[in-house]
A and B are shown apart, each in its own frame.
Chain A
Amino acid sequence: MKQRTIADLSNLPTYGFGAQSPMWWGTLAFISLEATGFALAVGTYFYLEFVASGWPIAAPAPDLGAGTLVLILLVASVLPNHLTDRWAKNQELRKTRLGLLLMSIFGLLPLIIRIWEFRALHVSWDQNAYGSILWLLLGLHTFHLLTDLGDTLVLTALMFTRHGRSGRRFSDVSDNAFYWDFVVASWVVLYLVIYIFPRWSA
């Protein structure tokens, strides 16, 4: 076909933030499908509670300590997370590096405390269906913590190499911050389900 050029787009930028970037939409899509997974797991929890004659089944409600500490840490991490996001959007390399270091720590700490969380459940995964769903919920969230920590660590390393001097990296950092918000938000919901609901319903 014959072609007629009607516009010259040479001056368009080569990276953008938020809804400008396809990666942001990809992240949003992944968040949606993972949120669906969480919702179904939570649905399963309540379904099992519905068919059970008493809840929690054959176990005391989980101890609050470790889970609450994770909650506090995660909620607190929202502040550095958003600062990192802002620094990345302003393309301030030194501050972004700092933010990523902070976020690596904020990613690591809850994972360590999580070990005690599993112990605080007072039920094993194979004891009964209540134990199974509890371990599944906690396992799912732990998996998200792990993958996001991995992503953050790799990004942090990248930012300290010459690859950090690329606009796209800042956009990646911003998308990573977006995903972390999801990890935090999902924990708020799971915390209520795992720790508060058994107390409230008892």
Chain B
Amino acid sequence: MSVLKSSPIYDLRDTGLTDSALDRFLTETWKTPSGLYGWLATVDHKIIGRRYIITAFFFFILAGLSAAAMRLQLAVPDNKLIGPDLYNQLFTMHGTTMMFLFAVPIMEAFAVYLVPLMIGTRNIAFPRLNAFSYWVYLLGGLMIWIAFALNSGADAGWFSYVPLAGPEYGIGKRSDFWAQMITFTEVAGLAVAVEIIATVFKQRAPGMTLDRIPIFVWSMLIMAFVVLFAMPAVMMASTMLILDRLVGTQFFNPAEGGDALLWQHLFWFFGHPEVYIIFIPATGFVSAILPTFVRRPMFGHLAIVMSLISIGILSFGLWVHHMFATGLPQMGESFFTASSMMIAIPSGLQIFCWIATIWAGRPIFKTPFLFVLGFIVTFVIGGLTGVMVASVPLDLQVHDTYFVVAHFHYVLVGGAVFPLLGAVHYWYPKVTGRMMSETMGRWTFGLVFIGFNATFFPMHLLGLRGMPRRIYTYPAASEWGTTNLLVSAASLLIIAGLVIFFFNIVLSLFRGESAGSNPWNAPTLEWAMQSPPPPYNFLRIPAVSHREPLWFDGSVLNVVCGLRVDTRELLTSTVADAVPELREPSVRNSIWPFLSALAVGAAFLASIFTPWAVVWGGVPIAIGLIGWFWPKGDPEDKE
């Protein structure tokens, strides 16, 4: 402590303050100011998480509308409504948006909102990085969709194979927008993954040892690790692609020593784990919702955590196995099926634990629980078709047909969107302070569940009868017409269900019953504070001695005191045992992450047109980052 004189500054602690005084001080310290500036500068994980969720649903709607347009076109044979060029853009935008702008971001968004609440802390780690990541994500999504509106939509499929997407065949700037959108979203995705890891490792409430971490939080932590090791691959791939297209590198050009398969290796190194990046958090939703509605703790807590970890690891092992087994990837599509095979063992264990929990519990059939049941049923069916496609002869038969489209929608919609819709109904009261309408919720579930099966089950048959994927129309003589009409009609049911869902969300904001702090009588910490949570989350930091603190710690919440209230401070603890270690300052709101994101966005966008943008863009980015990190004389900085 040689040069540091302990400064005699006055600091105000929570110790001894009454609840109402404490609330006043903490609100003053943690609040987001109103007005445009506050809106752009906030670093509150709840506001950013909410934004992320809304934005991801916005992209979901866009991707859904593309799907609706495709179904309209395919409803009858020889349809002239949509030409081949637009159709190519539509399925590419649909797949790309669903995977990169909806599914992954929305899972991370739920983590951003919920993880800090569930582990008992006041903000996520690196809150400014969090704000930055949101803006970068938003800019990337807007960019690719504005390009689409200007008839420059990506058109080479969601995995953008070379040479189709390469300099020779990829026309205009279409694939460049695709490649840069990848850069945007992966920067955002990786940033959030780092935040989640640091938050879960270091910011858990005192006493929340490893074996007391909620399964939901485990699922998000494991997802973050998969993101950390998978996403660099697709960033690397898209960087090489854009370099090939813009400055004439030869990565994928066989004539000059490059290799088109290199793209597939790099893409699928990410692409295999990608499905699990979506699926692992979805099972986390299930394990959070289920105990609440069957009113007992999860059966086999440890087994579930272990199977989540092994799924995370397997998601990479699978790729290696795949490469060894086939040498050459005809894998593009069959990877969905192969992964659903490998997933069988740990997933089977999870399903067993879920069913055992329901069996031993006393179920209450509310909307979130219905979605969980829908998920389990779909998952079992999806598993069966997965085993079917996994047999090699059949796989070769159905390769690149609608059988594959059907199969991966069973995995993605059944395995991820169902739990997600359940999660929205479940946590909506916490986020808004109001209940969603149960009646509308049931309608949503019924329509989506029936519509989903009626849409995608017949696609299996279309595939078996030879209808290829990615075709913009088909002749009447193919005799695929009737089934296609049925499929298109059934997708209207899904749309109807989703319209009710969004209507329910908006209407309940005004009409919903007041929720109180814990409307479902749920066991985890996010239900300990009022709804919606105050800016500071917890009046005092909770101290945990059970896995289900709100069920077993009685009606009294154990808390610790001693934190400052005149500046943002939170508690960090040891990684394994959650023993309190530091009173760690947490940054204040700042406009700089937003400005930095604008600078980064402008550089990425301009780089599509000139490589020099990377050089010139460096200047505003550097200014943005310095503004971001330079201390502004915050009181906590003086220690």
Answer whether A135 and B249 are a contact pair too, CB < 8 Å, given A1-B517, A29-B228, A40-B233: yes
B248 on the A face (CB < 8 A): yes
User: Residue of B at shortest CB range from A41?
Assistant: B236
Kindly state the separation between the CA atoms of A130 and B259 in the bound complex, as whole angstroms. Answer: 11
Chain B nearest CB from A122 CB (Å) reads: 15
Which segment of A16-24, A74-82, A105-113, A186-194 sits at the interface?
A16-24
Residues of A at the B interface (CB closer than 8 Å) are 1-16, 19-23, 25-26, 29-30, 32-34, 36-37, 40-41, 44, 47-48, 51-52, 57, 90-94, 125-133, 135-136, 150, 154, 158, 163, 165-168
B466 on the A face (CB < 8 A): no
Kindly state the separation between the CA atoms of A37 and B187 in the bound complex, as whole angstroms. Answer: 13
Chain B nearest CB from A95 CB (Å) reads: 10
Complex contact B198–A26 (CB within 8 A): yes
Which 7 pairs, one residue from A and one from B, show the smallest C-beta to C-beta distance? A10-B562, A129-B257, A126-B248, A132-B249, A9-B562, A129-B258, A37-B232
B559 on the A face (CB < 8 A): yes
Give chain B residues whose Cβ lies under 8 Å from the Cβ of A36.
Answer: 228-229, 232-233
Chain B nearest CB from A174 CB (Å) reads: 14
B407 on the A face (CB < 8 A): no
Residues of B at the A interface (CB closer than 8 Å) are 1-4, 13, 15, 19, 125-126, 190, 193-195, 197-199, 201-203, 206, 228-229, 231-233, 235-236, 239-240, 243-244, 247-251, 253, 256-259, 262, 265-266, 269, 517, 528, 539-540, 543, 550, 555-563, 569, 571-572, 575, 580-585, 622, 625-626, 629-631, 633, 636-639
Chain B nearest CB from A13 CB (Å) reads: 6
User: Residue of A at shortest CB range from B625?
Assistant: A150
Kindly state the separation between the CA atoms of A168 and B247 in the bound complex, as whole angstroms. Answer: 43
Extra A-B contacts (17), CB below 8 Å, given A33-B231, A44-B251: A1-B528, A3-B557, A9-B560, A10-B13, A10-B561, A12-B583, A13-B582, A15-B582, A15-B639, A16-B581, A20-B582, A25-B201, A29-B193, A36-B228, A44-B262, A128-B258, A136-B249
Chain A nearest CB from B13 CB (Å) reads: 6
Give chain B residues whose Cβ lies under 8 Å from the Cβ of A23.
Answer: 198
Give chain B residues whose Cβ lies under 8 Å from the Cβ of A14.
Answer: 569, 582-585, 636, 639
Give chain A residues whose Cβ lies under 8 Å from the Cβ of B235.
Answer: 37
Kindly state the separation between the CA atoms of A84 and B580 in the bound complex, as whole angstroms. Answer: 28
Give chain B residues whose Cβ lies under 8 Å from the Cβ of A3.
Answer: 19, 539-540, 556-559
Kindly state the separation between the CA atoms of A148 and B249 in the bound complex, as whole angstroms. Answer: 27
**Residue in contact with A40 in the complex, picked from B269, B528, B543, B556, CB distance below 8 Å:** B269
Give chain B residues whose Cβ lies under 8 Å from the Cβ of A52.
Answer: 257
Kindly state the separation between the CA atoms of A2 and B585 in the bound complex, as whole angstroms. Answer: 27
Complex contact A5–B201 (CB within 8 A): no
Answer whether A6 and B253 are a contact pair too, CB < 8 Å, given A20-B582, A33-B231: no
Complex contact B638–A136 (CB within 8 A): no
User: Residue of B at shortest CB range from A9?
Assistant: B562
10 contacts between A and B (CB under 8 A): A3-B19, A4-B556, A6-B543, A9-B562, A15-B584, A22-B201, A22-B203, A26-B195, A126-B250, A132-B240
Answer whether A47 and B265 are a contact pair too, CB < 8 Å, given A132-B243, A133-B251, A166-B639: yes
Answer whether A6 and B257 are a contact pair too, CB < 8 Å, given A126-B247, A163-B637, A166-B638: no
Of B250, B539, B559, most A-chain CB atoms within 10 Å: B250
Complex contact B229–A9 (CB within 8 A): no
Give chain A residues whose Cβ lies under 8 Å from the Cβ of B563.
Answer: 9
Chain A nearest CB from B627 CB (Å) reads: 11
Interface residues of A: mostly helix, strand, loop or mixed?
A: helix
Complex contact A7–B543 (CB within 8 A): yes
Chain B nearest CB from A111 CB (Å) reads: 14
Complex contact A2–B571 (CB within 8 A): no
Give chain B residues whose Cβ lies under 8 Å from the Cβ of A6.
Answer: 543, 558-560
Give chain A residues whose Cβ lies under 8 Å from the Cβ of B585.
Answer: 14, 168
Complex contact A129–B228 (CB within 8 A): no
Chain B nearest CB from A120 CB (Å) reads: 19
Give chain B residues whose Cβ lies under 8 Å from the Cβ of A11.
Answer: 562
**Residue in contact with B262 in the complex, picked from A25, A29, A48, A163, CB distance below 8 Å:** A48
Give chain A residues whose Cβ lies under 8 Å from the Cβ of B539.
Answer: 3
Give chain B residues whose Cβ lies under 8 Å from the Cβ of A37.
Answer: 232, 235-236
Answer whether A1 and B556 are a contact pair too, CB < 8 Å, given A154-B629, A167-B4: yes
**Residue in contact with B630 in the complex, picked from A1, A13, A34, A158, CB distance below 8 Å:** A158
Give chain B residues whose Cβ lies under 8 Å from the Cβ of A22.
Answer: 125-126, 198-199, 201-203, 572, 584
Of A12, A15, A30, A93, most B-chain CB atoms within 10 Å: A12
Kindly state the separation between the CA atoms of A109 and B161 in the bound complex, as whole angstroms. Answer: 41
Kindly state the separation between the CA atoms of A40 and B263 in the bound complex, as whole angstroms. Answer: 12
Kindly state the separation between the CA atoms of A33 and B189 in the bound complex, as whole angstroms. Answer: 12
Complex contact A91–B236 (CB within 8 A): no
Chain B nearest CB from A72 CB (Å) reads: 28
Give chain B residues whose Cβ lies under 8 Å from the Cβ of A125.
Answer: 243, 247-249
Complex contact A25–B198 (CB within 8 A): yes
User: Residue of B at shortest CB range from A162?
Assistant: B633
**Residue in contact with B559 in the complex, picked from A4, A13, A30, A48, CB distance below 8 Å:** A4
Complex contact B240–A8 (CB within 8 A): no
Answer whether A25 and B558 are a contact pair too, CB < 8 Å, given A41-B236, A57-B257, A130-B257: no
Kindly state the separation between the CA atoms of A33 and B227 in the bound complex, as whole angstroms. Answer: 9
Complex contact B231–A8 (CB within 8 A): no
**Residue in contact with A12 in the complex, picked from B247, B575, B580, CB distance below 8 Å:** B580
**Residue in contact with B540 in the complex, picked from A5, A10, A29, A136, CB distance below 8 Å:** A5
Kindly state the separation between the CA atoms of A11 and B240 in the bound complex, as whole angstroms. Answer: 52
User: Residue of B at shortest CB range from A26?
Assistant: B198
Kindly state the separation between the CA atoms of A44 and B4 in the bound complex, as whole angstroms. Answer: 50
User: Residue of A at shortest CB range from B251?
Assistant: A132
Kindly state the separation between the CA atoms of A19 and B198 in the bound complex, as whole angstroms. Answer: 11
Give chain B residues whose Cβ lies under 8 Å from the Cβ of A129.
Answer: 249-251, 253, 256-259
Kindly state the separation between the CA atoms of A22 and B265 in the bound complex, as whole angstroms. Answer: 34
Chain B nearest CB from A56 CB (Å) reads: 10
Kindly state the separation between the CA atoms of A129 and B249 in the bound complex, as whole angstroms. Answer: 7
Complex contact B15–A10 (CB within 8 A): yes
**Residue in contact with A136 in the complex, picked from B240, B571, B637, CB distance below 8 Å:** B240
Kindly state the separation between the CA atoms of A2 and B203 in the bound complex, as whole angstroms. Answer: 23
Of A6, A29, A90, A167, most B-chain CB atoms within 10 Å: A29
Complex contact B629–A132 (CB within 8 A): no
Chain A nearest CB from B628 CB (Å) reads: 10
**Residue in contact with A163 in the complex, picked from B201, B555, B631, CB distance below 8 Å:** B631
Complex contact B630–A132 (CB within 8 A): no
Kindly state the separation between the CA atoms of A159 and B15 in the bound complex, as whole angstroms. Answer: 34
Complex contact A2–B556 (CB within 8 A): yes
Complex contact A16–B582 (CB within 8 A): yes
Give chain B residues whose Cβ lies under 8 Å from the Cβ of A51.
Answer: 257, 259
Give chain B residues whose Cβ lies under 8 Å from the Cβ of A7.
Answer: 206, 543, 560-562, 580
Chain A nearest CB from B246 CB (Å) reads: 11
**Residue in contact with A26 in the complex, picked from B194, B206, B638, CB distance below 8 Å:** B194
Kindly state the separation between the CA atoms of A6 and B15 in the bound complex, as whole angstroms. Answer: 12
Complex contact A165–B3 (CB within 8 A): yes
